[in-house]
């Protein structure tokens, strides 16, 4: 469902997500909105959506579905992201493509399921470690990463006349041949791995992580600040005759858990409990998110101050669900799993005069839908050999379209464990294979967002259909896969 809420009270009208229930009575307002959309009063047509806007894509790291004030958290202050949601659309049913970070980043930059790319279905381990069979094989050959032979998003946009930049977390290959400047990014400043000391830039194996154009660089400061300052430097120094694409993937609030005031003279000890993703000190976790919000506010202030606000599409999302340190309510599960808490994440987008302010969308969507939207808005051209697999979710919202049924899939292997899922309409198949043991579930997400009631026994035909659909998809997309789907 697409609906409008009072832009001054979006928090009070918090939508649990996927249930279609508001915490205050808005039946009349929703009815009026539906009539407006049906009558076409908005006057929005395909021809009227402007082309070649500036594009800013901001990605949080391990942010839980309920970790922002505009998604219901009461003990945190995120005024800038709350404002971003009020100024555009807030999605209640947005999914990350992966239950961990590398897979989602792969899907975003390729616009396709990450399973088409070898070795990137699971987060690359610290120090370039492959964590499942295919990834281990590629790592042994020094081939674990996002191949530059692929026509990724920055190259598509660069060919369409855009200036391109990444300032933040890469995590798509340690080898120099996978560096982001070889993928079409003109301006690069990045953390190469999954997580690092926010002040000394060492990971939990003491590898140095701070790079520019494939080369290590020195810096001083909190990494959230460095990434934001570099993003702002890129905007200030841009060629003003051309549009720009800025990819700002933060490491916050990924471990190690260090707030902006937690500088220490020496690097964080490798045995420090602050590296443990599931045991963040609550006050530190909140400080990390609030500081990220503050710096996003600085970036948005620059964009608006430069007179770019109305011609800039800004998108915010998280790369996967939250860890045990996060707040994922009302969802079950955490990062790494394919229960809702591992893959459903906060997301919002602002594009003045295109996306109506105060919009809340229940449309099921996924990371690579944003890729499709960015490519369409930029007038870019994807490779015909590797067509985009997402829907243009920005246009969908901008034109006031009703919700459409989606069929989406997830697969995340690590070691001898594989998490799987398929969503078709309101039904969701979830499975976990560990060695020879297989656990399977069927849920009605619209009626049971917390995934507490397994329906596989009472809706056997639906269960068998979704399981069959999942296995067919898995067999189709996994690069180099031959034979029949697993279990058949």
Residue 2 has what pLDDT? Answer: 72
Check whether residue 53 and residue 198 sit in a common domain.
Answer: yes
What are the residues facing 414 on neighbouring strands?
A: 417
- DSSP code of 289? H
Do 288 and 412 lie in one domain? The reply is: no
Are residues 414 and 392 part of one domain? no
Range of the domain at 444: 407-477
Three-state DSSP class for 472? Answer: helix
Are 239 and 380 in a shared domain? yes
Note the pTM of the prediction, 2 decimals: 0.91
pLDDT value at residue 435: 94
C-alpha 297, offset from chain centre: 19
**What CATH number should be reported for the domain holding residue 202?**
3.40.720.10
Scanning 148-251, the segments in alpha helix (DSSP H) are 153-159, 223-237
**Position 38 in a domain:** no
- Same structural domain, 297 and 435: no
Closest CA to 412 of 115, 140, 146, 128: 115
323 domain residue, yes or no: yes
Instruction: Kindly report the CATH number assigned to the domain that includes residue 412.
Output: 3.30.1120
Residue 77's pLDDT is: 98
Scanning 266-379, the segments in alpha helix (DSSP H) are 282-305, 340-343, 367-378
User: Total domain count for the chain?
Assistant: 2
Together in a domain, 151 and 238: yes
State residue 254's pLDDT score: 98
Does one domain contain both 241 and 328?
A: yes
Which of 346, 372, 398 corresponds to the end of one domain? Answer: 398
Q: What is the pLDDT of residue 49?
A: 78
Asked whether 92 and 340 are in contact (CB, 8 A), the reply is: no
Which pLDDT does position 479 carry in this prediction?
55
Residue 231 lies in a domain: yes
d(CA 143, CA 221): 32
Which residues neighbour 177 within 8 Å (Cβ) at sequence distance 6 or greater?
Answer: 145, 148
Q: What is the pLDDT along the chain (488 residues), one digit of tens a residue?
A: 776 665 544 443 343 444 333 333 333 344 334 434 433 434 444 446 788 999 999 999 999 999 999 999 999 999 999 999 999 999 999 999 999 999 999 999 999 999 999 999 999 999 999 999 999 999 999 999 999 999 999 999 999 999 999 999 999 999 999 999 999 999 999 999 999 999 999 999 999 999 999 999 999 999 999 999 999 999 999 999 999 999 999 999 999 999 999 999 999 999 999 999 999 999 999 999 999 999 999 999 999 999 999 999 999 999 999 999 999 999 999 999 999 999 999 999 999 999 999 999 999 999 999 999 999 999 999 999 999 999 999 999 999 999 999 999 999 999 999 999 999 999 999 999 999 999 999 999 999 999 999 999 999 999 999 999 999 999 999 754 443 344 44
Instruction: Give yes or no: residues 310 and 420 share one domain.
Output: no
H/E stretch holding 101 reads: helix 101-110
Judge whether 482 lies within some domain.
no
413 and 394 both lie in a single domain = no
Closest residue by Cα to residue 278 from 308, 257, 294, 292 = 257
Residue 414 shares a structural domain with residue 392: no
């Amino acid at each position: 469902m697409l609906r409008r809420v009072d832009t001054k009270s979006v928090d009070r009208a918090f939508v649990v997500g996927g249930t279609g229930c508001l915490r205050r009575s808005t039946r009349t307002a929703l009815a009026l909105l539906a009539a407006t959309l049906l009558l076409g009063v908005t006057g929005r047509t395909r021809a009227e959506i402007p082309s070649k806007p500036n594009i800013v894509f901001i990605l949080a790291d391990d942010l839980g579905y309920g970790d922002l004030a505009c998604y219901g958290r009461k003990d945190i202050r995120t005024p800038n992201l709350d404002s971003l949601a009020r100024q555009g659309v807030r999605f209640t049913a947005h999914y990350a493509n992966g239950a961990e970070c590398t897979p989602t980043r792969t899907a975003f930059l390729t616009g396709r399921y990450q399973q088409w790319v070898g070795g990137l279905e699971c987060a690359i381990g610290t120090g370039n470690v492959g964590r499942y069979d295919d990834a281990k094989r590629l790592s042994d050959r020094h081939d674990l990463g996002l191949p530059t032979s692929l026509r990724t998003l920055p190259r598509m946009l660069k060919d369409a006349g855009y200036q391109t930049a990444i300032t933040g977390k890469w995590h798509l290959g340690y080898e120099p041949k996978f560096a982001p400047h070889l993928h079409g990014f003109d301006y690069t400043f990045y953390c190469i791995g999954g997580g690092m000391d926010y002040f000394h830039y060492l990971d939990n194996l003491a590898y140095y992580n701070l790079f520019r154009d494939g080369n290590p660089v020195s810096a001083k400061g909190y990494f959230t600040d460095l990434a934001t300052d570099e993003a702002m430097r890129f905007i200030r120094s841009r060629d003003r005759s051309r549009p720009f694409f800025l990819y700002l993937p933060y490491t916050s609030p990924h471990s190690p858990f260090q707030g902006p005031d937690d500088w220490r003279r020496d690097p964080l000890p490798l045995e420090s409990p602050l590296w443990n993703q599931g045991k963040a000190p609550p006050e530190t976790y909140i400080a990390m998110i609030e500081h990220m919000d503050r710096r996003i506010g600085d970036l948005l202030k620059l964009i608006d101050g430069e007179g770019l606000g109305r011609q800039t599409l800004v998108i915010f999302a998280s790369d996967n669900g939250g860890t045990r340190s996060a707040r994922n309510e009302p969802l079950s599960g955490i990062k790494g799993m394919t229960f809702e808490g591992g893959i459903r994440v906060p997301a919002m987008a602002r594009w003045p005069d295109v996306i109506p302010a105060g919009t809340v969308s229940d449309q099921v969507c996924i990371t690579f839908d944003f890729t499709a939207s960015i490519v369409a808005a930029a007038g870019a051209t994807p490779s015909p050999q590797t067509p985009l697999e997402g829907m243009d979710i920005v246009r969908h919202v901008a034109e006031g379209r009703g919700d459409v049924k989606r069929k989406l899939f997830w697969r995340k292997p690590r070691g001898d464990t594989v998490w799987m899922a398929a969503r078709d309409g309101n039904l969701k198949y979830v499975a976990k294979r560990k060695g020879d043991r297989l656990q399977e579930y069927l849920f009605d997400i619209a009626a049971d967002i917390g995934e507490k009631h397994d329906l596989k026994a009472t809706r056997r035909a639906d269960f068998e259909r979704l399981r069959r659909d999942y296995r067919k998809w898995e067999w189709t997309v996994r690069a180099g896969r031959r034979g029949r789907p697993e279990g058949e």
